[in-house]
Amino acid sequence: MPWVPQNDLLGHPKTRVFLYQGGNNGFQEACYHGVPIVVVPLHADQFDVAARVVARGMGRKIDKMAASADVIYDTLQDVISDPKYAAVAKEVATIIRERPMQARERAAFWIEHVIKYGGQYLKTSARDLSLIEFFMIDVLAFLLLLATAFLLIVIFGVRLCCRMVCGKRKAKLD
């Protein structure tokens, strides 16, 4: 068989771990089906996906430079044998699959949901940022400083050129 649909494979009850490169669709499918993950990120957003997998406790990351048959085998065995990865993955799947309906039902759902699962995963890390970090005032100040320095260099350069050109004209007139 040349190709197996990934979503169907992840939905199979005998799937115990998902080894892949870290694409966002595969991550969402693994989360939906509650399958623990071993990710080997190769480029771009895959490193962010790998960080989310590790941060949530859904699996492990393998550095592509350290990836060998033994490292991959040992990591897969660790994720399969440690029940915490499967438990977290199943909890994430349960959270994803629960869907609210009407506004009143939605409000009741979220109250019960937070009581049942806690709300820690709903909190953004942006709430821990200072106002300077949140509004990126330090970055804006640095960019303003660079723009000011560039403008001053251009002004002084133009003045210097004008003095050199005007100075030569005065010398010729004398």
Token representation of residue 160: 């210097």
The per-residue pLDDT for 155 is: 96
Q: What is the pLDDT of residues 44-98, one digit of tens each?
A: 899 999 999 999 999 999 999 999 999 999 999 999 999 999 999 999 999 988 8
CB count in 10 Å sphere of residue 64: 13
Give me Rg for the CA atoms of the chain: 28
DSSP symbols for 11-68: HSTT---EEE---HHHHHHHHHHT--EEE---STTHHHHHHHHHHHTSEEE--TTT--
The per-residue pLDDT for 1 is: 64
Residues 138 and 93 in one domain: no
Does residue 126 lie in a domain region? no
The per-residue pLDDT for 96 is: 87
Range of the domain at 117: 6-121
Does residue 160 lie in a domain region? yes
The per-residue pLDDT for 138 is: 93
- Residue that finishes a domain, picked among 97, 121, 145: 121
Residues 107 and 63 in one domain: yes
The per-residue pLDDT for 103 is: 76
Handedness of CA 125, 129, 132, 138 (dihedral sign): negative
Does residue 50 lie in a domain region? yes
Residues 32 and 96 in one domain: yes
The per-residue pLDDT for 12 is: 96
Does residue 1 lie in a domain region? no
Residues 105, 124, 87, 23: what is their CA dihedral angle, to the nearest 10 degrees? 110
pLDDT > 90? residue 159: yes
Residues 145 and 168 in one domain: yes
How far from 131 is each of 49, 125, 137, 146, CA to CA, in Å?
Answer: 27, 13, 8, 22
Residues 91 and 135 in one domain: no
In total, how many domains does the chain have? 2
pLDDT > 60? residue 174: no
Residues 77 and 103 in one domain: yes
The pTM of the whole model exceeds 0.85? no
CATH number, domain containing residue 35: 3.40.50.2000
Residues 66 and 150 in one domain: no
Does residue 136 lie in a domain region? yes
pLDDT > 90? residue 32: yes
Q: How confident is the model at residue 172 (pLDDT cuts 50, 70, 90)?
A: low
Residues 105 and 139 in one domain: no
Q: What is the pLDDT of residues 99-158, one digit of tens each?
A: 667 778 888 988 999 999 998 888 888 889 999 999 999 999 999 999 999 999 999 999
Does residue 70 lie in a domain region? yes
The per-residue pLDDT for 165 is: 87
